[in-house]
A and B are shown apart, each in its own frame.
Chain A
Amino acid sequence: MYYYIMEAGNAKTASWQEKIKDILGDLGIAGETVQPTAARTIEELASLGIMKGYSTIVAVGSEKLVNKIVTALINQKGTKETVLGIIPSDFDGMLARRIGARDIREACQALKFRKLQTIDACQIEPNKYFLTEAVIETSRAVDAYMTLDQTQAGLIFNRIVIKPGLKIQIFDQSQQTINKFKEFWAKLFGKTYEAKDIYTSIFYSKKIKLETLGRILPVKVDDEIITKTPLVCSARPKALKIICTRDTIKSKE
């Protein structure tokens, strides 16, 4: 019933995975365990799990691994009944907060109790999905042109963060640096300078099209480049069912 995809890693990762296998065995939810290799990618392993008819595919590892499995699950047609379980490697991360697990044992116990929650995902066209965040970053501020549903916007930015639900945060840190510099000089001469952040924008939309002018920038999800600008990203509400801990409180993000 459970199909575990464990992230490939070093000796430390292997011992961590052994510990998880022990806990899963104790709880009586041990299943087939696979690991990506040069011959079989994470997406291929996830597709294989779906084809074998497993009802629960569990991602054991980083947020990068989880997003790749999410992409495979959503792209596979007719997999509405396949549920995603997560045992995160980082319990301070966004996904650990989302499932409500504070440690390995809680994450494993959640798999046993199978409390399901339908969650939103983000789609980067044509066929990449993520549950965490996509980041477009550059050291020098660039001009861009953005379309949000029926609205067009011209903007200057050096960091854009896109989160599920389609929350778009736009930062211009060059202006923030200038503000910090002004604050420093004011303090030096015994004056007060209250720097207001007026260069950060927050939008909510169902779809975003972003085109950077004069430069092509990489779009990263979990520090991995998955596409480049121009970017089309859309919200996929209730795209996936995940297993959460029993006391998870639904967060807006």
Chain B
Amino acid sequence: MMGDNKNVSGPNTVVGANVKLVGTLYDANEVTIHGKIEGEVQSDKTVIITETAYIKGPVTADTIQVAGAVHGSITATGKLEILPTGKVYGSVTTKDLSIRSGAIFIGKSTMPEAGKELELEPEDKASSTNKKETEYLAEE
């Protein structure tokens, strides 16, 4: 659950508002954070970062909900939601992003699957123009 020992897991982990944690926090289930964390946060399911929470470090989970402050990269394999009180300073990677009005997001956003489509398009175009050029040269 905590640290490198990933085989222990409980129903869910809650970090209270008067707790300051340094290190890696891992839970196979839901993680709710009200306090401060300096380090990595990982979950196989959901991470809920409430209004009072402050995280300095990367956050990785399937679904992430941010109402507090995150200084670090966020990777959500499922959905990332930044609520009106949420502040994210760092890059985010997700396939489903929702930023509510009032939220602060300073950083780079990457959508892995949408990115693949974008990468394919210029190549296709380039290959088709190359074909045209070769055809034109052949005609000549």
Interface of A toward B, CB cutoff 8 Å: 148-157, 165-167, 170, 172, 175, 198-206, 235, 252
Contact = CB atoms under 8 A, between A and B. Distances in A.
Interface stretch (B13-21, B69-77, B81-89, B95-103): B13-21
B8 A153 contact: no
B48 to A, nearest CB: 11
B22 A153 contact: yes
Given A202-B10, A203-B2, A252-B11, 8 more contacts: A148-B1, A148-B2, A151-B23, A151-B39, A166-B8, A199-B18, A203-B15, A206-B8
Contacts of B11: 252
A172 B24 CA distance: 23
Contacts of A198: 16-17, 34, 50, 52
Nearest to B3: A150
Contacts of B17: 175, 198-199
Contacts of B2: 148-151, 203-205
By secondary structure, the A interface counts as strand
A199 B16 contact: yes
B9 A201 contact: no
25 contacts: A148-B1, A148-B2, A150-B5, A150-B24, A151-B21, A151-B22, A152-B22, A154-B20, A155-B20, A156-B18, A165-B10, A166-B8, A170-B16, A198-B16, A198-B50, A199-B18, A201-B16, A201-B19, A203-B13, A203-B15, A204-B10, A204-B27, A205-B2, A206-B1, A206-B8
A157 B20 CA distance: 12
